[in-house]
Amino acid sequence: MSLDVEQIRWIAHLARLELADDEIDGLARDLNAIVSYMDQLQQLNTDGIEPLAHPLDVKNVFREDVPASSLAVDEALASAPDRRGNYFGVPAVLD
């Protein structure tokens, strides 16, 4: 399979990436190289091999339901590009 220009634009849109027209060809080449490598991997015989859900062979890691301290409001909002009172300001969302 190979990706066409429309698919590249769609993937960029999903990731909220703005692409200049002259960037697309190069990205298509790179992504197609990755995809064809995946195609190659798909050809491996994986019969009888358990799907890997996580690279670490660790399971069942939990924490107890015990409160820990949270950040102070000022700390939480310190990196907000647009602080509004004790809230994060964001462009108006009309839904």
Partner 1 sequence: MTWSESISYRTVIGLEVHVQLLTRTKLFCGCSTTFGQPPNSATCPVCLGLPGALPVMNRRAFDLAVKAALALNCRVAGFTKWDRKNYFYPDLPKNYQISQYDLPFSEEGWLEIDAGQGPRRIGLIRVHLEEDAGKLLHDENGGGQASRVDLNRAGTPLLEIVSKPEVASPEETRAYLEEIRLLLRELGVSDCEMQEGSLRCDANINLHIPQADGSVAATPIVEVKNLNSVAAVERAMRYETQRQFEQFQKDGKKWGEPGVHKATAGWDENSRTTRIQRRKEEAADYRYFPEPDLVPVTVSAARVDEVRAELGELPAAQRARLPAQYGLSAYDAGVLTRQGRAFVAYFEEAARLCGDAKETANWLANDVLQALNESKQAIRYFPISAAGLADLIGEIKATGLNKQRSREVFAEMLAGCPSAKQAMDKLGIKVIADRDQLADIVRRAIAANPTAVADFKKGKTKAADAIKGAVMRETKGMARTELVQEILLEELHRAGSDADRG
- The residues that touch partner 1, with contacts defined as CB under 8 A, are 14, 16, 53-56, 58-73, 76-77, 82, 84-95
Q: 22 or 64, CB closer to partner 1?
A: 64
Rounded distance, CA 52 to CA 33, Å? Answer: 24
Please state the closest distance from residue 12 (CB atom) to partner 1, in A. 13
Burial class (CB in 10 A: 0-12, 13-18, 19+), 54: exposed
Please state the closest distance from residue 22 (CB atom) to partner 1, in A. 25
Please state the closest distance from residue 32 (CB atom) to partner 1, in A. 18
The answer to whether 84 and 78 have CB atoms below 8 angstroms apart is no
